[in-house]
C-alpha cells in the first residue's frame, strides 16, 4: 500500500478586487473540508468581519512579536496595514492530510514559494482591467485615495502573473471555484 502523500499547500493570489474572497467563500460552502488559513492583520475590522473567523485582528506590537518569533509563514504590508499567515496552523493541517488554501497577496505568495517551494501558486485574474476597476470602486468601503493605491498595486500584481503555476480567469465564481478544487485534488 502506498504511503499517504501530504497535500500541497495551494496559494490563491491576484489583484485586490479580483474576487478572491468571493471564490473562496463559494468553494468552502461546497467543500467545507478545504481549510482556509485565517490571516493576522493590523487593519481594523470591516462591517460584519469577526475576529478569528475572517482575520485575527492584532495590534502593531502583537504583529511585531509574531514576526520576531518566526510565527508567520509570510507577511506583507498593504494599503498601510500588515497581513500575515500563522505558520503553525498551516503545517499542522498539511501534516494531517487536509487540503490547505491560502488567500494572500503577491508579496505573501512569493514568500511562501521561497519557504515552501512545493506549494502550488494560483493566480486569479480579472476578465478585464475595466471589470477590475468597476469591482474596486463598487465596493463603497474605501476612500478614493485607498482605491487609487489599490489600482496602482493591481497593475504591479497583474504584471506578476507569469510567476504563478496556474492562472484562472474569474468570469464565473462557480467555474473558478470548481477549477480550484480540481487543482487541489479535492474533487
Q: Which residues are annotated as a binding site for ATP?
A: 14-21
List the Cα angle 18/82/145 in 5-degree steps: 60
Residue 161 near residue 122 (C-beta atoms within 8 A): no
Q: Which three cell numbers stand for residue 72?
A: 508567520
Alpha helices in the chain (DSSP H): 20-30, 60-68, 87-95, 106-115, 129-138, 144-159, 173-183
Sequence ranges of the binding site = 14-21
Q: Is 162 exposed, middle or buried (0-12, 13-18, 19+ CB in 10 A)?
A: exposed
* Sequence-ordered list of residues with C-beta below 8 angstroms from that of 49, at least 6 positions apart, any chain: 55
Cell 502550488 sits on residue: 120
Nearest to 20 by CA among 160, 168, 159, 183: 168
Amino acid at each position: 500500500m502506498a504511503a499517504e502523500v501530504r497535500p500541497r499547500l495551494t496559494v490563491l493570489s491576484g489583484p485586490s478586487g479580483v474576487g478572491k474572497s468571493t471564490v473562496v467563500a463559494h468553494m468552502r460552502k461546497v467543500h467545507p473540508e478545504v481549510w482556509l488559513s485565517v490571516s493576522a492583520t493590523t487593519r481594523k475590522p470591516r462591517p460584519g468581519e469577526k475576529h478569528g473567523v475572517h482575520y485575527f485582528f492584532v495590534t502593531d506590537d502583537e504583529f511585531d512579536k509574531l514576526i520576531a518569533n518566526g510565527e508567520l509563514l509570510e507577511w506583507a504590508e498593504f494599503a498601510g496595514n500588515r497581513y500575515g499567515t500563522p505558520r503553525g496552523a498551516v503545517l499542522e493541517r498539511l501534516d494531517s492530510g487536509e487540503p490547505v488554501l491560502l488567500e494572500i497577496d503577491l508579496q505573501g505568495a512569493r514568500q511562501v514559494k521561497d519557504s515552501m517551494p512545493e506549494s502550488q501558486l494560483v493566480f486569479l485574474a480579472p476578465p478585464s482591467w475595466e471589470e477590475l476597476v468597476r469591482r474596486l470602486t463598487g465596493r463603497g468601503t474605501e476612500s478614493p485615495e485607498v482605491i487609487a493605491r489599490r489600482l496602482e498595486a493591481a497593475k504591479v500584481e497583474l504584471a506578476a502573473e507569469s510567476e504563478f503555476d496556474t492562472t484562472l480567469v474569474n468570469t464565473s465564481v462557480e467555474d473558478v471555484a470548481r477549477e480550484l478544487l480540481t487543482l487541489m485534488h479535492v474533487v
